[in-house]
């Protein structure tokens, strides 16, 4: 598969992962010293934030107590993209450049669109029809080479999906996009082992007309670029426990 570069990152700094130290922090070894860095991902990332793996940092541009933020972790020949804000930037770049066929005639109208008391990532207009799009980060490997979501309980995620179900039931168009941050996955599978209620929420949404899509966006550490892989991965929402 040919990967398309979406974004060029500032200079990457290599480190060694030591351990997860908090919801938004990871301890790494950098130039022989231990250092805490920022992690923009609330998932558990158990098999990704793993002691001994090589991590990739960028300098933190925003005012913060952390000098660096962890962007990616070595994964086969490339790297897993763990930073959800960069996943979002990559998605928007892919959409605006016409790389996502099922969003080809769409214009972004608003970010953080509120519906039924929940905040949804994006409101597009697609062929004259309002379309809400919610991204979910899938940086979890399931057996068989599939990306999975969620890897932790997600009450907020369930509420957002139910809100989209109500929106779709009333005649609106809604899409949930699982961003597979792992290179060369075979597809996406819903994982229900961490959240037993997520399957019911997604089943209700699917029955209400919500579409479920998945794309692959990961880090190429050699080029320092965020790259796009498959844009329409197979999606299985039947609830996997492995």
Residues 6+ apart with CB under 8 A from 4: 94, 99, 227, 228
Q: What are phi and psi of 29, to 5 degrees?
A: -105, 120
Q: Is the pTM of this model over 0.85?
A: yes
- Contact 28/13 with Cβ under 8 angstroms? no
213 token code pair:
């899509």
Tell me the pLDDT tens digit for each residue of 127-163: 999 999 999 999 999 999 999 999 999 999 999 999 9
Q: What is the pLDDT of residues 89-116, one digit of tens each?
A: 999 999 999 999 999 999 999 999 999 9
Which residues are CB-neighbours of 225 under 8 A, at least 6 positions away?
A: 5, 6, 7, 8, 9, 219
**What is the Cα–Cα distance from 141 to 148, expressed in whole angstroms?**
6
Domains of the chain: 10-76 (2.40.50.580), 84-240 (3.40.1350.60)
Helices (H), 152-209: 155-169, 198-208
């Amino acid at each position: 598969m040919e990967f398309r570069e979406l974004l060029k990152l500032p200079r990457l700094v290599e480190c060694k992962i030591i351990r997860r130290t908090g919801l938004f922090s990871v301890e790494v070894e950098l130039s022989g010293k231990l250092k805490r860095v920022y992690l923009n991902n609330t998932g558990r990332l158990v098999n990704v934030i793993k002691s001994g793996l090589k991590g990739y940092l960028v300098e933190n541009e925003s005012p913060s107590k952390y000098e660096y933020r962890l962007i990616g972790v070595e994964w086969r020949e490339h790297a897993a993209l763990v930073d959800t804000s960069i996943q979002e930037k990559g998605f928007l770049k892919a959409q605006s450049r016409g790389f996502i066929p099922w969003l080809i005639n769409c214009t972004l109208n608003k970010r953080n669109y509120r519906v039924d008391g929940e905040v949804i990532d994006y409101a597009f207009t697609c062929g004259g029809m309002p379309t809400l799009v919610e991204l979910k980060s899938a940086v979890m490997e399931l057996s068989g080479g599939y990306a999975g979501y969620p890897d932790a309980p997600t009450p907020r995620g369930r509420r957002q999906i139910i809100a989209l179900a109500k929106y779709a039931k009333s005649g609106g168009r809604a899409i949930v996009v699982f961003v597979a941050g792992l290179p060369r996955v075979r597809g996406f599978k819903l994982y229900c082992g961490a959240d037993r209620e997520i399957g019911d929420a997604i089943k209700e949404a699917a029955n209400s007309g919500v579409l479920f899509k998945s794309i692959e966006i990961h880090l190429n550490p050699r080029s320092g670029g965020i790259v796009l892989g498959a844009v329409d991965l197979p999606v299985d929402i039947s609830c996997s426990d492995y």
